[in-house]
Structure 1
Amino acid sequence: MARVRLEHITKRYEDVTAVDDVSLEVADGEFVTFVGPSGCGKSTTMETVAGLTRPSEGNVYIGDDEVTNLAPKDRGVAMVFQNIALFPHMDVFENISFGLRLRTYDDEEIRRRVEQAADVVQLEGMLDRMPDELSGGQRQRVAIARAIVRNPDVFLMDEPLANLDAKLRVHMRTELQRLHRELGTTIIYVTHDQAEAMTMSDRIAVLNEGRLQQIAPPLTCYNEPANRFVAGFIGSPSMNFADGELVADGLETDNFRVDLDPGEVPGVTVGDAVTLGVRPEDVHIASAAGDLPAVTAPIEARTDVLEPMGDEVFVYLLLAEEAGRSMAEDPATASDQLLMSVTPDTEVHEEQDLEVVLDRSKLHLFDSASGEALRHGLVERSEPESGETSKAG
């Protein structure tokens, strides 16, 4: 096992910067996931750790050793790729032991390591099978066992579950968590699937356009995102956003207002543009929000589309600047909408007029220009007086 440290890693391809000044440290035995949209630089960053890509600038350390210029075979790492790439003419035992045989280990040591790895990934009794006799999950286990037998200091996994069906991906997530617990090895994992990142990781590193946006435990990224990008990327469905302006006693958006003291929002003053964020589960029907200690003034809305998901229902709400505005005649834009999550037994129907409130303790404020987070949670203001209603339609 070993810690991994990246210092100011930059990778340029002619006029394209794939990784831009990324610095981070993965602790010994930690499971860290690189997550972000396609093209954000997560795989390139991992490849610099593996030695498959030489950084244009910066240094890579594994343990106490600088390995920036070392060949992949000398770094003590093992990789599992999205493309499983088993040798079709070799059985499971031969596939798992291939790397050991190249390094001329003796037969007894090879058998011991293979059987031990097969036991860890639950491939007992399958060592004589051919790859085409295995399921997708079993083939992925063979690829993982092939990495385990090398006893690496660091496991590098580049979207290893991407080619599996949805049910098998969920099962393999559990298997990888168990594997990490049993081996205690440092794991760096790359995925664009935030469910994988949130459920498996000790910490997640969110990247966008080659830059590190935030590295923190999954729930910290969810509850206290460093900026608007992290807030919108982490969480499914995505966070609601509404652009507004700070006024003397609150935040004004096109469709509603939130009472607050601008002096309690660091880095901005009255007149500055601020973006409010709220997750769908923190939007509530006003008549059912009595247990919440602090909510915004009611916001008038009309339900548009309902998406039953089994354990919850996503309700798309349309807002309007003036009461009585026709949604059919004046279609809503993104800033005129809210997404709300409710329980399946909630009485709500399409094209229903209702009032919703936002949980003040779960509101997020971002600087509209930079996107940086300004504040998480507005709990100091009490519930509005009865009859007080924001401008909404």
Structure 2
Amino acid sequence: MGSLRLATVTKQYDDVVAVDGIDLDIADSEFISLVGPSGCGKSTTLEMIGGLTTPSDGKVFIDDQDVTDLPPKDRNLAMVFQNIALFPHMNVYDNISYGLRIRNTDPEEIERRVNDAAETLQLEGLLERSPSELSGGQRQRVAIGRAIVRNPSVFLMDEPLANLDAKLRVHMRTELQQLQRELDVTTIYVTHDQEEAMTMSDRVAVINDGTLQQIAPPLTCYNEPANRFVAGFIGSPSMNFVDGSIKGTQFVAESLRIDLGDIDCDGVSDVTLGIRPEHIHFPDADLPENTEPIDATVDVLEPIGEKIFVYLDAGLEKATSGDWSDAEDETVGRSQFLMSAPSDSTIEEGESVEIVFDRTSIHLFETATGEAIAHGIVSEPTKPTR
């Protein structure tokens, strides 16, 4: 078993609050990623779980046992860090078995566990080699093997792939997913790479300024972000945002207006509209429901192979709605949008185009708090979840 619970865990250094009252329940065998920008508190949270740092307040439970004051050796955890830190004077076998040997484990048991780990990690023919004779990916597998042989209840991984090149990182994260499923061990994985978190995790815990913003399955964080921070952090490229207000049944900004129909904004007047680049289209796109066309000028094109990132100067030129009669025939404003277009698009820089938003993928956030109001401005919008 390897369930884990953080109960209002806080860590404060003098006047700096690194982690602020995080509550987190992790089920046995779950793969959870802690993700957020540098300095957000995710590594400090991991260190408190591992016993490397003592919480200023709150409790840490493993399998319903309070381990807050227990040293790391008594928590049945195994850790893998960004710095692989293998012993250069030991071969692979000795590196993997080191933790077992210092615990005076039976030599036959050590050999069995090391050989099992080597087979799982495809290191069978490398056990006599020194770390200097291994590639980066092989050294990382040795570090993981050193953790595996302990048969821990929980794996803690702090950016273990950060020092690998891009191609190897993609390969290794696939291997880590397969390994976690095979071992069926609870895994808590720290990363600043939201793509890594999205592809590997059962659930993603998004942290900012020491506060848990949302914990949910990856696609829930993507499609139903709890607030503007999560919406902007999850997804690459980032979501487009436009600040505006609610007037009648319309979202109104300097650069555009969009009919909201009968959507309920709970009395909030100042709102921020969010739309992801992949949910902006040309008018001929086959969409179930889209906004009225918006005039735009192509500013910059970035072809990246399977798609083109299109930077747009977009918005209204003149107000024509009766609701805007006081501004009729006046220039209203322009905004910058990033659009993800098909690779076969024939648009050119400087070209005037029309774009539409997929109404089912428009998000609304309260401007003052950043909290989500609705996801999809259709007849039955998705209510925000945390």
Normalised by the length of structure 2, the TM-score is 0.93
1:154 CA drift (Å): 0.2
SS in 2 for 1:125: helix
Find the counterpart in structure 1 of residue 279 from structure 2: 282
CA distance in 1, matches of 2:60, 2:233: 28
Find the counterpart in structure 1 of residue 364 from structure 2: 365
Find the counterpart in structure 1 of residue 62 from structure 2: 62
| Residue 268 (str. 1) matches residue 263 (str. 2) | no
1:348 CA drift (Å): 1.1
CA distance in 2, matches of 1:149, 1:183: 11
Q: Within 5 Å, give how 1:180-219 maps onto structure 2.
A: 180-219=180-219
CA distance in 2, matches of 1:249, 1:234: 29
Find the counterpart in structure 2 of residue 241 from structure 1: 241
CA distance in 1, matches of 2:316, 2:356: 16
- Unpaired runs of 5+ residues, structure 1, are 324-332, 382-393
Find the counterpart in structure 1 of residue 293 from structure 2: 298
Aligned-pair RMSD on alpha carbons? Answer: 1.3
Find the counterpart in structure 1 of residue 10 from structure 2: 10
Find the counterpart in structure 1 of residue 96 from structure 2: 96
Aligned length: 366
CA distance in 1, matches of 2:343, 2:155: 41
1:264 CA drift (Å): 2.5
CA distance in 1, matches of 2:360, 2:144: 43
CA distance in 1, matches of 2:111, 2:178: 23
Find the counterpart in structure 1 of residue 170 from structure 2: 170
Aligned counterpart in structure 2 of residue 314 of structure 1, from 309, 319, 328: 309
- Listed one character per residue, the Cα deviations across residues 346-372 of structure 1 (whole Å, up to 9, x for unaligned) are 121111101100000000000000000
CA distance in 1, matches of 2:216, 2:267: 25
CA distance in 2, matches of 1:268, 1:173: 45
- Listed one character per residue, the Cα deviations across residues 294-345 of structure 1 (whole Å, up to 9, x for unaligned) are 111111000011111111110000125536xxxxxxxxx9x71011101111
1:96 CA drift (Å): 0.4
Find the counterpart in structure 2 of residue 374 from structure 1: 373
CA distance in 2, matches of 1:347, 1:362: 25
Question: Does the aligned pair in 1 maintain the 2:256–2:315 contact within 8 Å?
Answer: no
SS in 1 for 2:10: strand
- Listed one character per residue, the Cα deviations across residues 152-174 of structure 1 (whole Å, up to 9, x for unaligned) are 00000000000000000000011
- Unpaired runs of 5+ residues, structure 2, are 319-332, 381-386
- Listed one character per residue, the Cα deviations across residues 27-48 of structure 1 (whole Å, up to 9, x for unaligned) are 0000000000000000000111
SS in 2 for 1:143: helix
Find the counterpart in structure 2 of residue 149 from structure 1: 149
Question: Does the aligned pair in 1 maintain the 2:19–2:44 contact within 8 Å?
Answer: yes
CA distance in 1, matches of 2:265, 2:59: 35
Letter in structure 2 aligned against 1:285: F
CA distance in 2, matches of 1:244, 1:278: 14
- Listed one character per residue, the Cα deviations across residues 101-149 of structure 1 (whole Å, up to 9, x for unaligned) are 1000121111111001111111111000000000000000000000000
Find the counterpart in structure 1 of residue 341 from structure 2: 342
Letter in structure 1 aligned against 2:365: F
1:266 CA drift (Å): 3.6
| Residue 109 (str. 1) matches residue 109 (str. 2) | yes
Letter in structure 2 aligned against 1:283: I
Letter in structure 1 aligned against 2:312: L
CA distance in 2, matches of 1:12, 1:236: 32
SS in 1 for 2:173: helix
CA distance in 1, matches of 2:112, 2:105: 11
Normalised by the length of structure 1, the TM-score is 0.91
CA distance in 1, matches of 2:195, 2:278: 17
Letter in structure 1 aligned against 2:288: P
SS in 1 for 2:124: coil
Letter in structure 2 aligned against 1:179: L
Question: Does the aligned pair in 1 maintain the 2:4–2:60 contact within 8 Å?
Answer: yes
CA distance in 1, matches of 2:115, 2:182: 16
Find the counterpart in structure 2 of residue 389 from structure 1: none
SS in 2 for 1:22: strand
- Listed one character per residue, the Cα deviations across residues 25-69 of structure 1 (whole Å, up to 9, x for unaligned) are 110000000000000000000111000000000000000211000
1:292 CA drift (Å): 1.0
SS in 2 for 1:264: coil
Letter in structure 2 aligned against 1:87: F
